[in-house]
Structure 1
């Protein structure tokens, strides 16, 4: 019974917010002299104390929660801009260090043509003081780590997988340090033939490449990314059981269409080697960017993917005590083994956040999230129609994006997982605990609550006589509307910072992948009308592909935890 309440917490909160709104508006309003809305709003932002008289508990709750949600909405754009600025600087600094001739091993290399005009730099000298890289380059000499890369996939095009592997194979350390695990589903038709073909073509490019096949019908497990990753991880644990190099194995989970630069793995190696005291509890998180087919995607799809990208980026600012991974992340083998690996039950459908939560509670909060300043390149979803009309293709792409959003929001089951583990493990009340729950609230509660409050209060304020609404509530609704206007401005500021971030990511990927076939276009953001529309329509996309699928998911959890896993169609690049 308690398990049902845990998993349904986000859905129950929806009805709690509705109940508070109903009771707040159904309470008779006392007559307060000098506290009419016009008198208060024209004077200042200050609300006189006498105007708070007569508030009931439900009205106090509604007033406070309305202001809290809107303050969070307003500060999100500011925090996001700060994170984008910081991450962009980091990406440029890491790339600049390599361009100046610094070998990833830590050695200074002679530049080919204009070395006489440049002084030799270490990576630390190339970075601004905001970026703390502990340890010296000498610590890296002669030391390596093994990167076990899990590539989960189901019914994915072989060409997409081959291109992803070709990008990894282009890295200087791939043949000696990368181990690839193709995490596949046994139920996929002809999956063994596809796996054998990929292994045969790429076997000389990596230290090792092998496939795992998650069997169908395992009790308590679901088909999807989480179960595929879990099954592949068991193979890695088996391969490195009692192995002398186990402490220097880093497991990386990516999507089948994720393109990673060599800087991603080099920076993980640097963090791991130069922080020996904390290497076993470091969880590595990468930002990501939709930079291949964004220009060809419908505006609402592009905006919804931007908002999804920003949700992860917003917690990568300096001083953040914890961050939540999205799609691409890494952690040491010893840390994954310590908490029992990845879960494969229905509550683990959002396997990236779920694994962070599992390691957090399994280590009593003693984990460190590290930002890797190398963005993972991703594709926007596309239509599965091959010969449809423009509008049919457009509509099919929107439907595909909604299915993907519903799958993302189904991860609200992690709230129940976190609640249960908070009660069971009672982690220390430190800064990262409160930061973690703040991020969970923003991910699984805020969008649905905000939509209900805005619609409920707006409709009731229009149909009910002004005398029936407490002046303090009227004032709070007026102030929150001004906050929404201001948040629209701060989000447009964030669009400008994202433009610079996007350009830095595209430039880094273009230089590294110029010689690799079928990596897709390099979608650049310009000031064209199509991209200008993003700045206006993003709130609509947030409702269509954020709030609505969120509420559908959390209400569905009242009777089921299982979601039919549908693979999102990705574009084909010839």
Structure 2
């Protein structure tokens, strides 16, 4: 068992080593043939008549395996940007329609006011039921997708949003700005329970939290803070452990009757959410009662605050990162891991035992998604919230510092890329959970208790006999029982494709591009003889097509960015929060350099950090978590100024 666990955690590194070995085997074999005075195709022809047809180690077969694996990897590389483009196109189209509805509603409301009418829009005018304006990505046939797309005041007050903001040594202005944005939402006082998830490692953290709580206590349904202890064995410092502690504390506040209508949302300290984010989540939760407690809600993210103040390579790296998250959010997708910000019902948090805190959970968003996915045998419902979340680009404080400043920003972005790629550990976690699903495939009875009363990480099935005893005796009276559907192997297959795409593909592609180039140079075009030359020709076409598709993504992104910035700016203006707030508008004439950064980004923030993470996993699973600098609202200063902030390390 230890060996299986060890290998699963290093699956990416072992796959990388296997690909390197295959490449070396093919090239060294061809080089040996060259030294003996004949080409690869000649050796194949000469051996073909004598070699058995089932020989799997002959020169012909190893070259064919190498060639067809190259083709597979290139196909996957071409598919990813194609899917991202489709997701971006459909999301942008939906956002445009929602913006038109919002504008028409505001005009109608103004017309009512001019006529002296105190009537507001009716719910029939506010609720829009349409397949064209879908805010859902799921595989459930027959369920219409209903949106509450305009009037956030129509949100049912029965739904409580528990908003957790994990943070560590963040500037007060960063947290205050995020809270001000949340407090500006019309439904904040009625439905928002805000939890500042603080860290004990931070000096004077309780006073810092109390100042913010006192400042905003009248602007939310409630606001409080939790302090995550620094001495819990087996925990790795980071967002996941902070969220896990806060979730267990907030769980105590909600009764069993309330829990089905409590939705937990985890956001970054610098995340700005539009008011309709929670409105849309509420509407989908109410509109789909059958799957309400087994649904995870995720939204696209956009870096629209300081993109104009970071180097182009950093800006494009963040755009590509958002593209990776957006690639699963298209209509009809039923595998859609969230990025940074996501929501899920408290009963689902109860079911899976909350967030994990070990090394494998450093990418807590993907890890929690996997935990929910496998706890439901792959039958997790995912719905897309058509309300992009504003984020800030990573910066090392290098603005206006010339080449040294560019290097500082690039270094800060590389550290974040390494942390993202460290999430390759989640592939091993998924492999072990898949084995668990297979072992328990015949056990459909599941039971769970409120998070604060259950053991850490409990998410297993309870035998029916034990459930019957507990029901007769009243023991564990707060236990909830459920029957799961059988494993959905199609979704599980798609999930592993996405994990391979995220954690294996960058390194595999680089190795095979270098290896195939060396091989073709050695054979000097003779690879046509064994019938595989066409494969390398197709790979060249697919590689070129992939770059074209990424260029198309950047082109489509221009409109998406424009809609998102204008929508956020309008909402912040209505709330009186634009003074000192950052809005990064894109202009194609100024951002033309972004298109030339794609190859550099793919290498510097894809292949290299991925390879480093996979190699380091052979020695350690722990990564020191660093806090990135964030752009904050400037009071009494120029909007374009960027504050200095010391980068701290969580130890």
Q: TM-score, normalised by structure 2?
A: 0.79
Alignment of 1:459-470 (within 5 A): 459-463=518-522, 466-467=525-526
Q: Which residue of structure 2 lines up, in the alignment, with residue 49 of structure 1?
A: none
Equivalent residues of 2:127, 2:146 under 8 A apart:
no
Secondary structure class of the residue paired with 1:250: strand
Alignment of 1:31-46 (within 5 A): 31=42
Deviations 1:400-428 (A, max 9, x none): 00011111111111011001101111262
Q: Which residue of structure 2 lines up, in the alignment, with residue 521 of structure 1?
A: 582
Shift of 1:136: 9.1
Of residues 183, 194, 199 in structure 2, which corresponds to 1:185? 199
Of residues 447, 450, 467 in structure 1, which corresponds to 2:506? 447
Alignment of 1:150-549 (within 5 A): 150-240=164-254, 242-384=255-397, 389-426=401-438, 428-463=487-522, 466-467=525-526, 471-514=530-573, 515-517=576-578, 520-529=581-590, 531-549=591-609
Equivalent residues of 1:135, 1:275 under 8 A apart:
no
Larger of the two Rg values belongs to structure: 2
Shift of 1:383: 2.0
Give the whole-Å Cα distance in 2 for the aligned partners of 1:142 and 1:193: 35
Equivalent residues of 1:100, 1:111 under 8 A apart:
no
Shift of 1:563: 0.6
Secondary structure class of the residue paired with 1:513: helix
Give the whole-Å Cα distance in 1 for the aligned partners of 2:354 and 2:322: 26
Q: Which residue of structure 2 lines up, in the alignment, with residue 8 of structure 1?
A: 10
Deviations 1:275-332 (A, max 9, x none): 1111011100100101111111101101110110000111111221210100000000
Call closer, same or farther: CA 1:560–1:251 in 2, change over 3 Å.
same
Give the whole-Å Cα distance in 2 for the aligned partners of 1:509 and 1:114: 29
Shift of 1:74: 1.8
Give the whole-Å Cα distance in 2 for the aligned partners of 1:186 and 1:199: 17
Secondary structure class of the residue paired with 1:244: helix
Call closer, same or farther: CA 1:112–1:13 in 2, change over 3 Å.
farther
Call closer, same or farther: CA 1:23–1:205 in 2, change over 3 Å.
same
Call closer, same or farther: CA 1:457–1:269 in 2, change over 3 Å.
same
Give the whole-Å Cα distance in 2 for the aligned partners of 1:404 and 1:115: 54
Give the whole-Å Cα distance in 2 for the aligned partners of 1:446 and 1:359: 24
Give the whole-Å Cα distance in 1 for the aligned partners of 2:392 and 2:184: 20
Shift of 1:113: 4.8
Q: Which residue of structure 2 lines up, in the alignment, with residue 565 of structure 1?
A: 625
Call closer, same or farther: CA 1:206–1:376 in 2, change over 3 Å.
same
Secondary structure class of the residue paired with 1:121: helix
CA RMSD between the two structures: 2.9
Secondary structure class of the residue paired with 2:396: coil
Give the whole-Å Cα distance in 2 for the aligned partners of 1:342 and 1:231: 8
Q: TM-score, normalised by structure 1?
A: 0.89
Of residues 19, 22, 25 in structure 1, which corresponds to 2:24? 22
Deviations 1:503-554 (A, max 9, x none): 111111011111115663221221224x111112112112101111111011
Shift of 1:470: 6.3
Equivalent residues of 2:398, 2:406 under 8 A apart:
no
Shift of 1:355: 0.3
Q: Which residue of structure 2 lines up, in the alignment, with residue 91 of structure 1?
A: 95
Equivalent residues of 2:135, 2:146 under 8 A apart:
no
Shift of 1:345: 0.8
Give the whole-Å Cα distance in 1 for the aligned partners of 2:522 and 2:209: 62
Give the whole-Å Cα distance in 1 for the aligned partners of 2:437 and 2:272: 37
Secondary structure class of the residue paired with 2:270: coil
Shift of 1:80: 1.6
Shift of 1:273: 0.5
Deviations 1:336-377 (A, max 9, x none): 110100001111000000000000111111210100000000
Give the whole-Å Cα distance in 1 for the aligned partners of 2:133 and 2:213: 44
Shift of 1:101: 3.2
Give the whole-Å Cα distance in 1 for the aligned partners of 2:8 and 2:109: 54
Equivalent residues of 1:81, 1:493 under 8 A apart:
yes
Secondary structure class of the residue paired with 2:41: coil
Equivalent residues of 1:212, 1:232 under 8 A apart:
yes
Give the whole-Å Cα distance in 2 for the aligned partners of 1:492 and 1:385: 27
Give the whole-Å Cα distance in 2 for the aligned partners of 1:415 and 1:182: 30
Instruction: Count the aligned residue pairs.
Output: 549
1:146 aligns with 2:160: yes
Give the whole-Å Cα distance in 2 for the aligned partners of 1:470 and 1:13: 29
Q: Which residue of structure 2 lines up, in the alignment, with residue 60 of structure 1?
A: 64
Structure 1 unaligned blocks of 5 or more? 35-53
Equivalent residues of 1:163, 1:517 under 8 A apart:
no
Give the whole-Å Cα distance in 1 for the aligned partners of 2:384 and 2:580: 25
Secondary structure class of the residue paired with 2:224: strand
Shift of 1:63: 1.8
Secondary structure class of the residue paired with 1:211: strand
Give the whole-Å Cα distance in 1 for the aligned partners of 2:531 and 2:609: 33
Shift of 1:99: 3.6
Equivalent residues of 1:24, 1:56 under 8 A apart:
no
Deviations 1:36-91 (A, max 9, x none): xxxxxxxxxxxxxxxxxx86443232222211121122222222221111111222
Where does structure 1 differ by over 6 angstroms across 4 or more consecutive aligned residues? 107-110
Call closer, same or farther: CA 1:322–1:187 in 2, change over 3 Å.
same
Call closer, same or farther: CA 1:561–1:518 in 2, change over 3 Å.
farther
Secondary structure class of the residue paired with 1:124: strand
Structure with greater contact order relative to length (CA < 8 Å, sep ≥ 6): 1
